Amino acid sequence: MNFHLLDWIILVVYLTGTVFVGLTARKYVESMEGYFVAGRKVKVALGSATLIATEIGIVTFMNLSQLGYLTGFACFLLGIIGFFGYMVIGKTGFIVAGLRRLRVITIPEFYEMRFNKSVRWLGGILLFLGGVLNMGVFLKFDGIFLTETMGLGLQAKTAVMVVMLIIVVSYTVLGGMFSVVITDFVQFVILAFGMLIATVFVLLKVNFTSMANVVIHQYGSQGMNPIINPTFGWIFIIWNVIGSVALSALNQPAVSKSFASESPEVGRKVFLYTGLTLAGRYMIPMLWGVAALALFGPKINSLVAMPRLLGSIVPSGVLGLMVAGMLAASMSTYSAYLLAWSTVATRDVISPLLKFKLSDKQNVTMTRVIATIIGIFMLVFGLFYQLPSTAYQYLALTGAIYAAGAFACVTGGLYWKKANVVGAYAGLGAGVLAPAAFLILTQMKDTLPKELLFLVNVNVSGLLSFVLAAAGMIVGSLVSQKKFAPVVLVPPADETEPVEK
């Protein structure tokens, strides 16, 4: 076992502290806005810390280091693309400032304002399903990571998954966004420290020159050049350029942090400062994966390589701190995702079906129940589902289920006067086709005729989802302009927050 008494003490103190802080935050929840968007009082630095903490989890370390292990330095391009996506939003306020100005809590609420109630309901279902499928594998990766780094053995995976789930669900469900913001900040500090520790020990163990030599030896030019690397190529790059903007602006857990900000301007800046860290938070774990390749060679399980590396090179005592940092990263991601998807389910899927209006208290209670159910789903899904591609591609594709249609509807709705309800239906429907076909058809890959094999190419499927969604929105709106006149949105004239007296 890599974990010793001191490591356990550090870990137990950290976990107890987190739950205590998270539960204490309950007292700040005074209303529904308080529960869902922390009363919209979050400033730039705090917002950036919570957004970064949300976007970094063990799942991101695992999928990015897997890419580093399997593709060498070629995958570093993703960091640059991700940086570009956040910078577009951070510089222009593209989508997020518009949505924040309208004071929505979830993205489907915008669909009702701009299109109609049914679009909100359909958009809510797609957002919820895509989001929960996307999140379904998180716990599995955490189980693998923790058992490998701590040296517990993979048989302890289920127990680790259950313990993590209980801790996160408890404070997220009870404290809502206030708990999430406060614990996220603490977790951001600890996770940054954990990343620093891991990076220092990795670089002390394996230097850059030996990593470069191993990559060239194992993968040749493909390990350096993403365009000729078969995992990537032009289709993947184009898909990711579009997808990075769409997912950054429309990932409900992340964008909730922008909705929780003081003003649209603060929401935009949160994305700007978060964007500055993006290339680093991609490339840091990718390099851990490359270092694992240099140390262990190409023949071990690509998901296990990085945690095994950290478990073997980080000394006792420091390992406890690093694992606490990694756990912090994951817990902040879970809490934000659980809250975001349960909020969408309550407000956009279930509430519209009820014949009566839910009170604030009922809204919060239902959100808590759904967050718990999602947690249980994550456990079951994580234990039984086998990934059809690399973890990164699975996450990007399930993200496309909701992001492709949402990107067409929200961009059209905010910036194109002719966007109407028919275009919205067509965009949402068309956006889900290619990813759904991929997820289903990969289960019967061997029986597919040659002409349909392109549908089980994850890169083609991902790019197609955005192209089809955009085409659906444009064609649907243009052919039905006369029958379905677009709704004109009038944003509030002044978005100034009430002044404290």
Partner 1 sequence: MPTISIFWMVMYGVATLTFFSVAAVITVVGIQDLKSLLSRANRKGSRRENDTKKNS
List of residues contacting partner 1 (CB under 8 A): 27-28, 30, 34, 38-39, 41-49, 52, 73, 76, 79-80, 83, 178, 181-182, 185, 188-189, 192, 195-196, 199, 208-209, 212-213, 215-216, 224-225, 273, 276-277, 279-284, 287, 500
* Structure tokens given for 195: 């990343």
Q: How far is the CB of 231 from partner 1 (least distance, A)?
A: 16
Nearer to partner 1, 4 or 205 (CB): 205
Nearer to partner 1, 329 or 379 (CB): 329
Q: Confirm if 405 and 126 have CB atoms less than 8 A apart.
A: yes
φ/ψ of 316, rounded to 5, equals -55, 150
Residue 261 bridge partners (DSSP): 42
What letter would DSSP give residue 42? B
Nearer to partner 1, 45 or 489 (CB): 45
Euclidean distance between CA atoms 246 and 491, whole angstroms: 22
Residues 6 or more apart whose Cβ sits within 8 Å of residue 463: 235, 236, 238, 239, 242
Nearer to partner 1, 41 or 157 (CB): 41
Nearer to partner 1, 248 or 351 (CB): 248
| SS3 call for 5 | helix
Residue 42 bridge partners (DSSP): 261
Q: How far is the CB of 207 from partner 1 (least distance, A)?
A: 10
Q: How far is the CB of 44 from partner 1 (least distance, A)?
A: 7
Nearer to partner 1, 140 or 269 (CB): 269
Residue identified by tokens 């949160």 is 270
| SS3 call for 261 | strand
Nearer to partner 1, 157 or 268 (CB): 268
Q: How far is the CB of 441 from partner 1 (least distance, A)?
A: 35
Q: How far is the CB of 3 from partner 1 (least distance, A)?
A: 26
Euclidean distance between CA atoms 210 and 397, whole angstroms: 34
Q: Which of 25, 47, 42 shows the shortest CA–CA distance to 174?
A: 25
Nearer to partner 1, 44 or 448 (CB): 44
How far are the Cα atoms of 97, 155, 261, 370, 484 from residue 347, in angstroms, in the given order?
21, 39, 20, 11, 26
CA-derived radius of gyration, the chain: 22
Nearer to partner 1, 28 or 121 (CB): 28
Q: How far is the CB of 173 from partner 1 (least distance, A)?
A: 19
Q: Confirm if 421 and 482 have CB atoms less than 8 A apart.
A: no
Q: How far is the CB of 193 from partner 1 (least distance, A)?
A: 9
Q: What angle do CA 109, 110, 113 make, to 5 degrees?
A: 95
Q: How far is the CB of 144 from partner 1 (least distance, A)?
A: 24
Q: Confirm if 438 and 458 have CB atoms less than 8 A apart.
A: yes
* Structure tokens given for 388: 């059809």
